[in-house]
Structure 1
């Protein structure tokens, strides 16, 4: 916890610095939701095809989904969303002719969530 999934358009593969993003995302997340960096887990999923508006190829998408433990206020969740949107801008190189649609969603894990780390 938190579990972070980042879906991004294939056309951004070279423009999106995923490692740099994650390296800054984890401390930011830990600070905002009062957790530790060690608990942050991010996976990136390149999406072969995204379709925005009229389907024009100049549209690309980055969507970040957080699933966190219950108990954070809506204010904290909104703070995290806003901070992550700003962070994305730092890690996507300008690509002439491409409009990048970014979004963030923060939801909570269910009460039945359990975790185990194998060593």
Structure 2
């Protein structure tokens, strides 16, 4: 925990520095929201078939959806989404040929209902 999904236009595959953004994202989840570093999980999902705005090919997007256990204040949530948006912009190279839409959404997971388990590492 936390779980993050980063969906992005395939046209931004070279512009989005996924490893650097992932590192900055996990750091923000730990320092701003009090997440556990070992529990951070991020999935990057490339989309090559998108319809954005009027459908013209010069549109692109990156959307980050974060799921955290409930209990954070609105101020912490806002600080986290702002930090993630700043990191996203920092780790996406300029693409003047595209009108890029960046967005971040944070969702609470019900603490009473969420179940997660990590298997211990095996000694090899």
TM-score relative to the length of structure 2: 0.91
Q: Give runs of aligned pairs for residues 1-119 of structure 1, distance below 5 A.
A: 1-110=1-110, 111-119=112-120
The offset of 1:36, in angstroms, is 2.3
Segments ≥4 residues shifted beyond 3 Å: none
Shift of 1:42: 0.4
Larger radius of gyration: 2
Question: Displacement of 1:96 after TM fit?
Answer: 2.5
Unmatched tracts of structure 1, length 5 or more: none
Q: Which runs of 5+ in 2 are unaligned?
A: none
Asked if the contact 1:61/1:102 (under 8 Å) is kept, the reply is yes
| Count of residue pairs brought into register by the alignment | 119
Q: CA RMSD in A?
A: 1.0
Distance 1:96 1:69 in 2: 37
